[in-house]
Amino acid sequence: MASGTASVTSVAASASSVTLLSTNSGRLGATIYNDSQATVYIKFGTTASTTSFNISLGKDEYAEINTYTGRIDAIWTSATGSARITELTA
């Protein structure tokens, strides 16, 4: 299914777990770009940590999420920079 809407947000880096995207049953996909010098650890679900995560991104790396509609949390190794997020919905 093609997306009709792209919502762009930014979440500031944090050394404690933060929510990047809330659960959205209408999500068709998302991209997450790390503009921080620090590594970001991304978890599908609640409470990301450096040992409980699904994806890690270094500086200037991004991930594409195609089928997951649940909550996405993240934590950085240092609270500098941001995650640049685009969520695609119908």
The answer, yes or no, to whether residue 2 has pLDDT greater than 90, is no
Give the predicted TM-score (pTM) of the model: 0.94
Condensed to tens digits (0 to 9), the pLDDT of residues 70-80 reads 999 999 999 99
The answer, yes or no, to whether residue 87 has pLDDT greater than 80, is yes
CB distance 75 to 49 below 8 Å: yes
Condensed to tens digits (0 to 9), the pLDDT of residues 21-62 reads 999 999 999 999 999 999 999 999 999 999 999 999 999 999
Provide the β-strand partners of residue 75.
41
What is the overall mean pLDDT for the chain?
Answer: 96
How many independent structural domains does the chain possess? Answer: 1
- pLDDT at residue 1 in the model: 64
- pLDDT at residue 16 in the model: 98
Phi, psi torsion values for 10, nearest 5 degrees:
-135, 140
What CATH number is associated with residue 23?
2.60.120.770
- pLDDT at residue 22 in the model: 98
Note down the domain range covering 68: 5-89
